[in-house]
Chain A
């Protein structure tokens, strides 16, 4: 047995370790994401720290959300009331931009290993 077995064991442990590390890293992508949902279904999730423009198309409905310097706003939408476009930029969780006619929601979600959330944002709900 001996040498080859030891090597095999080490290789397996290493592989396992790498695998575990990998899943940890994946899961612990700490930070904020922009989640877009249409009629309750997730359309996409985008890191809040990466500036980009997202065009969400759903049939003839179009909403263009812009992530800019840690905030999100709706640049354009072909909805009739335009309330989503008038909505101020959002930077926090619990403060979604809602396009009612298109049943589309842009919100900031936190993905973190646990509890390190900004205490100021640590509210359960917002009355508005």
Chain B
């Protein structure tokens, strides 16, 4: 009799605990994110002088994340001007060399954008970047004579490139830097790798350069905000998928000397920070490399030239321009997917 009683008691205890355990287990997924898509991988990486966040969704998300992390490291070793062993450093030192597959593609894209934008984007601006020490820790304003002396070196049309052999030769003391385009290219490469792993949904934020792969896992568009130059909010939000979104602004890297603020986007024509009346340019384009190069170029060109350039290339990209006088301009293709609390002028 007592034995039966004890068993009953025991079974009640077991039952109650089991119930509690199950309830707790069911309630475990608190955020509703991640858990549902069993294979979601997010990572943060410090590379290429910036902070990167990767969000990858798909069955092979983990393997894909490993692969893209390795690729970021490989491209950084190849392209970094701060690393004496990089291919770019080798070219800058020897003034000639045979380019590898990646640098060939980067050079060709750079030269194409250089020509299209009439020199508003120029990879030979590097000696001036060094003079301003934007590449180092403490930037400074170079003497006027110093800028005048270096300015003739800034001319990508002086580069000699043989596409068949991949041989690049610099002219005189020229130096090159893919810094204005490397992150965009990296985004493009990473997208290719993710596709190889069957990933159809990912967001790669490479220090503010956003590369989207497909749509969000639920099929809706990604909502990508454009930072406002004063960093107090957003200029607006664009609903997008499967493209690159790159912003260039003078507000990211700058310094102040004797009351004057100098930002890091140099006008290749003057050798000084571009003063085009624009404070931020965002380019949306299927190709990350083009998005990156063009955002810099349009920033240097200013509103009028940028708008004219878009009209000639309206099939290739869209853009968001924000002026020093707080005007927000958006190209016609973004009319339906860009929203903002500010008043928007549409570039037709």
Residues in A lying within 8 Å of B, measured CB to CB: 1, 5, 8-9, 12-13, 16, 19-20, 23-24, 27-28, 37, 39-40, 80-81, 83, 87-88, 94-96, 98, 100-101, 103, 105, 111-115, 122-128
Whole-angstrom CA separation of A40 from B65 in the bound complex: 15
Q: B249-276 vs A: 1/0 string, CB under 8 Å?
A: 1001100000000000000000000000
Q: How far is the CB of B205 from chain A (nearest CB, A)?
A: 5
In the bound complex, residues from chain A placing their C-beta under 8 Å from that of B237 are 123
Query: Does B101 make an interface contact (CB < 8 A)?
Result: no
Q: How far is the CB of A50 from chain B (nearest CB, A)?
A: 21
In the bound complex, residues from chain B placing their C-beta under 8 Å from that of A95 are 227, 231
The 10 closest A-B CB pairs, nearest first, are: A128-B227, A128-B208, A80-B137, A123-B225, A88-B231, A127-B247, A127-B245, A98-B51, A16-B20, A123-B223
Q: How far is the CB of B197 from chain A (nearest CB, A)?
A: 21
Q: How far is the CB of A64 from chain B (nearest CB, A)?
A: 19
Whole-angstrom CA separation of A81 from B50 in the bound complex: 13
B246, A124: Cβ atoms under 8 Å?
Answer: no
Whole-angstrom CA separation of A128 from B206 in the bound complex: 10
Residues in B lying within 8 Å of A, measured CB to CB: 5, 8-9, 12-13, 16-17, 19-20, 23-24, 27, 30-32, 43-46, 49-51, 137-138, 203, 205, 208-210, 216, 222-227, 230-232, 234, 237, 245-247, 249, 252-253, 282
A127, B227: Cβ atoms under 8 Å?
Answer: yes
A124, B222: Cβ atoms under 8 Å?
Answer: yes
Q: How far is the CB of A83 from chain B (nearest CB, A)?
A: 7
A100-B137 contact given A12-B16, A94-B225, A128-B227, CB 8 Å threshold: no
Choose from B8, B19, B32, B253 the contact partner of A114 (Cβ within 8 Å).
Answer: B32
Choose from B138, B208, B223 the contact partner of A80 (Cβ within 8 Å).
Answer: B138
B234, A126: Cβ atoms under 8 Å?
Answer: yes
In the bound complex, residues from chain B placing their C-beta under 8 Å from that of A81 are 137-138
In the bound complex, residues from chain B placing their C-beta under 8 Å from that of A114 are 31-32
A126-B208 contact given A20-B20, A105-B51, A114-B32, CB 8 Å threshold: yes
In the bound complex, residues from chain A placing their C-beta under 8 Å from that of B225 are 94, 123, 125-127
B227, A126: Cβ atoms under 8 Å?
Answer: yes
Q: How far is the CB of B66 from chain A (nearest CB, A)?
A: 15
Closest chain B residue to A88 by CB distance?
Answer: B231
Q: How far is the CB of B119 from chain A (nearest CB, A)?
A: 25
Choose from A20, A88, A94, A103 the contact partner of B23 (Cβ within 8 Å).
Answer: A20
